Amino acid sequence: GAGVSQSPSNKVTEKGKDVELRCDPISGHTALYWYRQRLGQGLEFLIYFQGNSAPDKSGLPSDRFSAERTGESVSTLTIQRTQQEDSAVYLCASSLGQQGGQFFGPGTRLTVL
Amino acid sequence: GDSVTQMEGPVTLSEEAFLTINCTYTATGYPSLFWYVQYPGEGLQLLLKATKADDKGSNKGFEATYRKETTSFHLEKGSVQVSDSAVYFCALRSRQNNNDMRFGAGTRLTVKP
């Protein structure tokens, strides 16, 4: 597609439920990032995928968070047993390798009640 | 660890005023530095970047110079327009870990006609 797309755009869930967020990167971009942006705060790095290399999971805040990527295409971020502090905008970005500028998707706003 | 500190907002200016948004960084080695912009209702977009000391990034009338001696990357524009109203994020990419991008908290700019 023309840009990075994410779905859903908004997700409201109850505490304790699992959620799955999707990211479709720009075609041909080998690098894919997930970030979290809490209200009024900067972006927190969560996880990075580069081609077929092992992902960099160093930013995942707990074992409730996981992400997968199929080759160099779609990625899903899964949050299990959601907590209220998980409420945030989750942003996905892709780039042409590590040195390119990142192109961001519109984000998924997650609200945990 | 590596970090970015940027000027707190919000910033409100009149059209044609001069803009400066301060950004300083702490990093091991010499990171690459970026400014991203998020227009209302849109995703983050790369505005400009600089990859080594004394480099000047520029785009759409905005400029920022990589100053190693002051560890700064201040964003400037000589004459802002209403259409520049957005949230601006300073960011760095670590040389030690190319996966690791650190973002500032963002500065909201509102330009009034």
Decide if A71 touches B, using CB distance below 8 A.
no
Distance CA B55, CA A18 (A): 45
Q: Give the pLDDT of residue B12.
A: 97
- Name the one residue in this structure whose structure tokens are 């805040």: A61
CB contact under 8 A, A42 and B45: no
Q: How confident is the model at residue B97 (pLDDT cuts 50, 70, 90)?
A: low
HSE-CB of B6 using CA atoms within 13 angstroms: 31
Distance CA A11, CA A25 (A): 20
| SS3 state at A96 | coil
Distance (Å) from the C-alpha of residue A101 to the closest C-alpha of chain B?
6
Judge contact between A57 and A49, C-beta under 8 A.
no
Chain A, window 39-58: residues with a beta carbon less than 8 angstroms from a chain B beta carbon: 40-43, 45, 48, 50, 56, 58
Residues in chain A with CB shorter than 8 Å from the CB of B46 are 101-103
Query: Which is more confident, B100 or B66?
Result: B66
Judge contact between A22 and A34, C-beta under 8 A.
no
Q: Give the pLDDT of residue B112.
A: 96
Average pLDDT over residues B51-59: 95
Residue B110 has pLDDT above 80, yes or no: yes
For B30-39, how does the pLDDT look when each residue is reduced to its tens digit (9 = 90+)? 899 999 998 8
Q: Give the pLDDT of residue A2.
A: 74
Judge contact between A6 and A67, C-beta under 8 A.
no
Q: Give the pLDDT of residue A100.
A: 66
pLDDT < 70: residue spans in chain A: 1, 98-100
Residue B14 exposed, middle or buried by CB count within 10 Å (0-12, 13-18, 19+):
exposed
Substitution target from B48, B59, B103, B108 for chain A, most A beta carbons within 10 A = B103
Distance (Å) from the C-alpha of residue B78 to the closest C-alpha of chain A?
25
